[in-house]
Amino acid sequence: MKNIFLLLSFFCFINPMSSQELAKSPKPFGPLPTQKQVDWQEMEFYAFVHFSLNTFTNKEWGYGDESPELFNPTNLDVRQWARVVKAAGMKGIILVAKHHDGFCLWPSAYTERSVKNSPWEKGKGDLVKELAAACKEYGLKLGLYLSPWDRSRADYGKPEYVTYFRNQLKELLTNYGDVFEMWFDGANGGDGYYGGANETRKINTLEYYNWDETYKLIYNTAPKTLVWGVGPSEARWIGNEEGRAGKTNWSVLRQKDELAGKVHYTEFVSGHEDGEKWVPGEADVSIRPGWFYHAVEDDKVRSLDEMVDIYYESIGRNATLLLNLPVDKRGLVHENDEARLKELVSTIRQDFKTELLAGSKISADNIRGNNAEFGTKNVTDGNKNTYWATDDSAKTASIVFEFNKPTALNRILLQEYITLGQRVKAFTVEAQVNGIWKTVATETTIGYKRILRIDRVTASALRINITDSKASVVISNIQAYNATTFVRMPEIQRDKNGNVTMKSEEGNPVYYTLDGSNPTKKSTLYKGEFQHNKAVVIKAVAINADENISSAVKTSKYGASKENWKIVTVSSGDLNSANRIIDGNPNTDWSFGGESNKLPQEITIDMGTISTINGFTYVPQQVGNNLNLISNYEFYTSVDNVKWILQSQGEFSNIKNNPIEQVKTFKKDKARYIRFVAKSAVGKGSTVSIAEINVIETL
């Protein structure tokens, strides 16, 4: 009897140990990333550099007929680029080696349209080589953009151009060391110089380049290179040029459907839950409205508010962030861009200064096989290769962090162990406040990284509930922070009659100036609507009185108000409703043209008085699915409505993907009347819309 008791005791003792020993790592689930894709995702934040002939011609898209002799930076310093990028915590630089105009920043053996025929370094320079050396010096990775479309080539659209394109690929992938990403733009085919043909050429993007063969060439030449963009790519465009991923963001895509033309690019923002291939999203955005440098945009660098939002809505939503820095004519990252980048980095670093969960007591309602190898400590150990995992049968689970004392927090960071696939479909976050659990967030996907910004809460405990998962839960990292209160800039609006209104979030008081100086608490306090009809630069800040924290400065420039503006004539459309384009409200718009009124179409405006102007802006329609965008234009001025001067003409390049205010400048001149001509529409449409027309006045 005693022996039986001892035997039973022995089995009771060894059984828990056996279950731990038998617990195996979770099996991979669904499409999986390659190690190259994991390494790429871990870069998180890297720079784009647009710098070429367009910098010197003040264009976004060169036509292909511009002389290489125009490329002549006065103080080119790629090491300055690298210093700026490194200081911002970015991990690499993708250089636009050739844009749509066909000009090459390296001395390609296959064309004369390159730096070898420019005055820069007397034709002996190689910008790609210089940047590769700078990246190596500063510990950055080098990426390259090579436009498949070439508006300069006479053979574009023919088989021989594809050979030319691939030859240039070989040059870039063999002569400059490792290339972490090869970037292929989706803009392919359209109007161009084409060696003097000056015509429109259409190609089938998916078939013309024979991407399967092109990709084989890349992988055989440079197996470490990740290929982004068109064809069977390893990473995808996020579907916009605003740097924003969807709150739901799957790293998988139905790429077979995409390659068959069955997927619209707007689906890229969220990916596909049922995708068959791992194709994570890259969010690209420029720090300015344009991709190339334009002096007129020196005061239009994206605000700190917007840049912070972009960070959280890209990297914080399971995407990488590719931030464009348009190098100026000197060959330097502009001071304004560098200053904004420093502000962004300072804000983000402050947000994630002190992690709060590492010292907490952690528990979970399910741990795989009750094995400590898959336990809760793994989510706070700082090791990216360890993880908390649940049993295969547990597709819902909760993990709780208990604090020693009530702790304030407003940021939560979560990461799945994506080497085993993306699994989580939905989760919630709860905070225990005064003994009561309060839901502070209800979200969907996690992926490589998800960062939540929540209202600050002082909690005695935090609970993460995985409410739906494709397979067992595998979480590698959970963190929480208490970020400094971020005060958003106030909004400033002025209507056509010169009435100025301002507002701020949470009723924070607003202080402003009208003389161009930066406002402080000693400046004028905004108390309500006021009128200012003259051209003016309004600067304003909002101040959180409780914490004495100021927002960044909001700057708004206005010409003379439009109360005396009148629509004189329109070539089609309703004359009465045309006033919407001069009402000062960008959310109202007016359309003209149509099947019975073919483009070009024009509108003439009387500004009521003679003014000195040196440019105009066109604000496209902002609301709706079809924005009826204008692609090519002409702009005229007159002092008497009789004699007209053509001041500007050309295209609103890339407006399809970036439908923001278009700014065009010209030599200052006096005018009372202006005439705007819509020459053609994006997508060859017949109807076009305008939200607002403004002029740029000399202050």
Condensed to tens digits (0 to 9), the pLDDT of residues 397-411 reads 999 999 999 999 999
Q: How far apart are CA 275 and CA 256, in angstroms?
A: 9
Task: Report the pLDDT value the prediction gives residue 8, as an integer from 0 to 100.
Answer: 41
Element (H, E) at 618: strand 601-619
DSSP 649: E
- The residues near 425 (Cβ < 8 Å, ≥ 6 apart) are 273, 444, 445, 468, 469, 470
Task: Report helix, strand or coil for 282.
Answer: strand
CB 383 within 8 A of CB 414: no
Bin 241: left if φ > 0, else alpha if -120 < ψ < 50, else beta.
alpha
- Positions of the chain with pLDDT under 50: 1-21
Task: Report the pLDDT value the prediction gives residue 558, as an integer from 0 to 100.
Answer: 87
Q: How far apart are CA 284 and CA 270, in angstroms?
A: 15
- What would the 3-class secondary structure string for 532-569 be? CCCCEEEEEEEEECCCCEECCCEEEEECCCCCCCEEEE
CB 137 within 8 A of CB 174: no
Task: Report the pLDDT value the prediction gives residue 10, as an integer from 0 to 100.
Answer: 40
Q: How far apart are CA 539 and CA 511, in angstroms?
A: 8
Q: How far apart are CA 490 and CA 227, in angstroms?
A: 41
Task: Report the pLDDT value the prediction gives residue 22, as an integer from 0 to 100.
Answer: 52
The 10 Å Cβ neighbour count of residue 198 is: 12
Q: How far apart are CA 608 and CA 698, in angstroms?
A: 17
- Which tokens go with 594? 């149509």
Task: Report the pLDDT value the prediction gives residue 590, as an integer from 0 to 100.
Answer: 93
Task: Report the pLDDT value the prediction gives residue 699, as an integer from 0 to 100.
Answer: 62
- What would the 3-class secondary structure string for 200-254 be? EECCCHHHHCCHHHHHHHHHHHCCCCEEECCCCCCEEECCCCCCCCCCCCCCEEC
CB 250 within 8 A of CB 422: yes
Q: How far apart are CA 52 and CA 31, in angstroms?
A: 39
B/e letters for 482-514, b = 16+ CB within 10 Å, e = fewer, are bbeebbbbbebebbbebbbebebeeebebbbbb
C-alpha gyration radius of the chain: 29
